[in-house]
Amino acid sequence: MGLKRRRALVPFVLLGPGLAWLVVFYAIPALTQLYVSLQEGNFEVGYQFTWNFSTYTEALSDYQEQIFRSLGYAAVATILCFVIAFPLAYFIAFKAGRFRNLMLLLVILPFFTSYLIRTVAWQTILADNGFVAERLRDVGVLGEEGRLLATRTAVIAGITYNFLPFMVLPLYVSLEKIDRRLVEAATDLYASRRVAFTRVTLPLAMPGIIAGSLLTFIPAVGDFVNAQLLGTSRQYMIGNVIQSKFLVITDYPSAAALSFILMAIVLTCVLVYTRVLGRQNLEEAVI
Amino acid sequence: MRNESPESALQRLLEQDRMSRRRFMGRAGGAAFGMTALGALLSACGPAEGQNESSSGGKTTEAVSHPKTALDTVVFSNWPLYIDKDVIKDFKREFNATLKYTEDINDNNEFFGKVRQPLEQGDSIGRDLVALTDWMAARWIRLGYTEPIDEKNVPNKANLVDNLVNMSFDKGRKHSLPWQSGMTGIGYNKKVVGEVTSFKQLLDPKYKGKVTFLSEARDTLGLVMLAQMGKNPEDATIDDILAATEELDKINRSGQIRKFTGNEYSTDLAKGNVVMAVAWSGDMVQLKADNPDLEFVIPEEGGMLWSDNMMIPQKAPSPYGAEVAMNWFYDPQVAAKIAAYVNYVTPVKGVQEILAADKDKDTAALAENTLIFPDDATRQRLHATAELSVEEEQQMNEAFAGVTGA
């Protein structure tokens, strides 16, 4: 084999492991689920493949409430994450000095504990007779019979808390990359600090904002842990429905169909979002 | 015990080194998803062969004979915290054989999903004994997934309490033997709500959002049928069940029900987030040991009685070993040891007397506990569930899931 031929093969060899991973752990399961979603029957009489597309329309009409709720909760949580994460990332990138690594470590530190344990900890924090709820009752924010746990607030707070690092880290990376001299140049050219921020810093941070919001929004839409542990059945999200369809009701076709519907919705959201904010930014975000 | 949520699973994980279940209950809880969920998902992928059998009886019992063989290992799958681990060691001492006891049943449906495929293909699932709740046991027997019990090897079967001998799904207990039974009723905090006698008190608007129901459809709907419709769940039709679901939906929409739970209601009760809960008796005995304000009652309208049943799965590696183990569990002395630990209703005769004679004061007191040994008046108010066809069961599950939100 000539050197040239071998050179030409290098990219494929490098792509190999990643590609294999995608095929085995993504493409094959996705196709299997697609196959399952078009079946009919139940576990006792067995499932037959029947091109049964009605599962999709039924699932969509039966569970639109949970679908919209998931999108709403995820959107609110993503915005909250951004509002909390941006100042934090900004501070770490520009003001933290020698504490920068320490602060980054603190952001990642919660990952050292299991996601579930952290969420369950919120049950204690928000408990009806807990410190937080009592104080909020004292100051009258929460009514006498009001509660925090098992409410919408608790679920959204849980999602926000759990996904915050996914917002902070990409934001930090893109902020840290900014050449500070550009901001200085802007102020030299008589831009006020605010204008320098909105015209220079913010646009340059855009890849981080996009990456962060996608990394937060996408898993948040499919999350079911927060709704299950911190909410009630009136806060259940589409992830809860899929989980119970797979494991409790054992209605595999409609569980698979719902997974695909969710995937399609998320994909659409991402496309619209990146169309609005520009593809250039998405590419940079990925890099 | 029967429908475990992530919370209770974590609770289990967190406290795996506990010595006694009683001490363990009622602390802060948590969750970890059973790795088993993955298994269930995976097994869900493949298409299944059609297989359906008529609803009653299962395999006709031909004469079974499991000749004596040398005992080596007996594999038993059961629910978490459902045995005194000393009993496993005793087994080794007694028979010089290993009782390989795994706590890998967290949920009837989930476990079924995990072993469904080999069962369907007529293969062994590598276990000699499994313990599943009545309705799931009925399904296994109906589908012929069980190996009949050779009674010659289980003389202690005579110790089975009379009321559990003739079940509609297994007349004369040819395929199954109860492991433990339990009651479904109301657990409550008497310091907050006073004495509870009726299901109606669960619906008191004063406790809006302070009440939980069980996510096990048969338990919750059973109580609703008894109290709100005056219907005996034993002879309920699917229409009654669907009507009960609608009734439940109304209650849920009013915001009265905080949550539908597995046994993590115990955490909420202990923490005071919840003041009344549709609950299981064994859990409440243990919760009460930690917090005397917590009480359990079978409401005057009625409660549910269920059992988890030991069965030998088809092509079990050692059916004889399974029978030896069952026989041993039905020795009143052994059963007493288990009962003293798990605090559910024991299906074995003679346990009460053994406990009463125990030197340990706490253990002796268990003999007087009506939650472990329900008196006749209580038993009168307890009901079993109706047997449903596959389609009906699915209808029920879907309707119930519509209410519980998932």
In a domain, A251, yes or no: yes
In a domain, A29, yes or no: no
- Best of B4, B10, B143, B204 to substitute, by most chain A Cβ atoms within 10 angstroms, is B10
Q: Which residues of B touch A243 (CB under 8 A)?
A: 406
Contact between chains at B113 and A250 (C-beta distance less than 8 A): yes
To the nearest whole Å, the CA of A229 is away from the closest chain B CA by: 7
Distance separating alpha carbons of residues B269 and B271, to the nearest angstrom:
5
In a domain, A50, yes or no: no
Q: What pLDDT is recorded for position B31?
A: 32
To the nearest whole Å, the CA of B73 is away from the closest chain A CA by: 31
Average model confidence (pLDDT) for chain B?
84
Instruction: Select from B10, B391, B401 the Cβ nearest to the Cβ of A249.
Output: B401
Residue B403 burial (10 A CB sphere; 0-12, 13-18, 19+): buried
Q: What pLDDT is recorded for position A233?
A: 83
Instruction: List the single residue in A with minimal CA-CA distance to B259.
Output: A232
pLDDT of B8 > 70? The answer is no
Q: What pLDDT is recorded for position B20?
A: 38
To the nearest whole Å, the CA of B138 is away from the closest chain A CA by: 13
Q: What pLDDT is recorded for position B357?
A: 92
To the nearest whole Å, the CA of A261 is away from the closest chain B CA by: 16
By residue range, what is the domain housing residue A97? 65-286
Q: Which residues of A touch B44 (CB under 8 A)?
A: 36, 246, 250, 252, 255
User: What share of chain B has pLDDT > 90, as a percent?
Assistant: 55
- State whether residue B252 sits within 8 Å of chain A by CB: yes
To the nearest whole Å, the CA of B113 is away from the closest chain A CA by: 7
Q: What pLDDT is recorded for position B390?
A: 80
Confidence of residue B58 (pLDDT cuts 50, 70, 90): very low
Contact between chains at B47 and A129 (C-beta distance less than 8 A): no
Residue B82 burial (10 A CB sphere; 0-12, 13-18, 19+): buried
Instruction: List the single residue in A with minimal CA-CA distance to B44.
Output: A252
Instruction: Select from B32, B112, B397 the Cβ nearest to the Cβ of A114.
Output: B32
Contact between chains at B28 and A124 (C-beta distance less than 8 A): yes
CB contact residues (below 8 A), chain B span 95-134, against chain A: 107, 109-110, 112-113, 116
Q: Write the CA distances from B20 to A43, A242, B79, B208, B345, integer angstroms.
A: 38, 36, 15, 34, 18
Instruction: List the single residue in A with minimal CA-CA distance to B116.
Output: A43
Instruction: List the single residue in A with minimal CA-CA distance to B36.
Output: A247
In a domain, A33, yes or no: no
Contact between chains at B405 and A66 (C-beta distance less than 8 A): yes
Instruction: List the single residue in A with minimal CA-CA distance to B397.
Output: A249
Q: What pLDDT is recorded for position B264?
A: 79
- State whether residue B294 sits within 8 Å of chain A by CB: no
Q: What pLDDT is recorded for position A46?
A: 74
Instruction: Select from B31, B48, B255 the Cβ nearest to the Cβ of A43.
Output: B48
pLDDT of A127 > 70? The answer is yes
Q: What pLDDT is recorded for position A287?
A: 54
Contact between chains at A244 and B403 (C-beta distance less than 8 A): no
pLDDT of A15 > 80? The answer is yes
Q: Residue range B98-105: average pLDDT?
A: 93
Q: What pLDDT is recorded for position A283?
A: 66
pLDDT of A276 > 50? The answer is yes
- State whether residue B71 sits within 8 Å of chain A by CB: no
- Best of A34, A35, A43, A237 to substitute, by most chain B Cβ atoms within 10 angstroms, is A43
Q: Does residue B108 or residue A100 have the better pLDDT? A: A100
Q: What pLDDT is recorded for position A18?
A: 93
- ipTM of this predicted complex? 0.73
Q: What pLDDT is recorded for position B160?
A: 95
pLDDT of B379 > 90? The answer is no
Contact between chains at A116 and B31 (C-beta distance less than 8 A): yes
Q: Which residues of A touch B30 (CB under 8 A)?
A: 116-117, 120
In a domain, A246, yes or no: yes
- State whether residue B205 sits within 8 Å of chain A by CB: no
pTM comes to 0.77
Tally of structural domains, chain A: 1
Contact between chains at B44 and A250 (C-beta distance less than 8 A): yes
Of A30-39, A233-242, B262-271, least confident by mean pLDDT is: B262-271
pLDDT tens, residue by residue, B315-365? 999 999 999 999 999 999 999 999 999 989 999 999 999 999 999 988 899
pLDDT tens, residue by residue, A202-237? 999 998 999 999 999 999 999 999 998 998 888 899
Contact between chains at A120 and B30 (C-beta distance less than 8 A): yes
To the nearest whole Å, the CA of A134 is away from the closest chain B CA by: 13
Q: What pLDDT is recorded for position B47?
A: 37
- State whether residue B54 sits within 8 Å of chain A by CB: no
**The domain spanning residue A188 has which CATH number?**
1.10.3720.10
Q: Residue range A48-77: average pLDDT?
A: 91
In a domain, A235, yes or no: yes
In a domain, A36, yes or no: no
In a domain, A166, yes or no: yes
Q: Residue range B60-66: average pLDDT?
A: 69
pLDDT tens, residue by residue, B136-160? 999 999 989 999 999 999 999 999 9
Contact A135, A116 (CB under 8 A): no
Q: Which residues of A touch B49 (CB under 8 A)?
A: 46
To the nearest whole Å, the CA of B172 is away from the closest chain A CA by: 25
Q: Write the CA distances from A85 to A168, A242, B14, integer angstroms.
A: 5, 30, 32
Q: Which residues of A touch B394 (CB under 8 A)?
A: 42, 249, 251
Please list the alpha-helical segments (H only) found in chain A. Answer: 3-22, 28-37, 54-62, 64-94, 100-108, 115-125, 131-138, 152-177, 180-188, 193-196, 202-222, 225-230, 238-247, 252-277, 279-286
Q: What pLDDT is recorded for position B11?
A: 53
Instruction: List the single residue in A with minimal CA-CA distance to B264.
Output: A229
Q: What pLDDT is recorded for position B34?
A: 35
Instruction: Select from A32, A232, A249 the Cβ nearest to the Cβ of B397.
Output: A249
Q: What pLDDT is recorded for position B13?
A: 45
User: What share of chain A has pLDDT > 90, as a percent?
Assistant: 60
Which residues does B216 contact at the CB level (< 8 Å), separation at least 6?
A: B2, B3, B184, B262
Q: Which residues of A touch B40 (CB under 8 A)?
A: 246-247
pLDDT of B38 > 80? The answer is no
Contact between chains at B30 and A48 (C-beta distance less than 8 A): no
CB contact residues (below 8 A), chain B span 334-373, against chain A: none
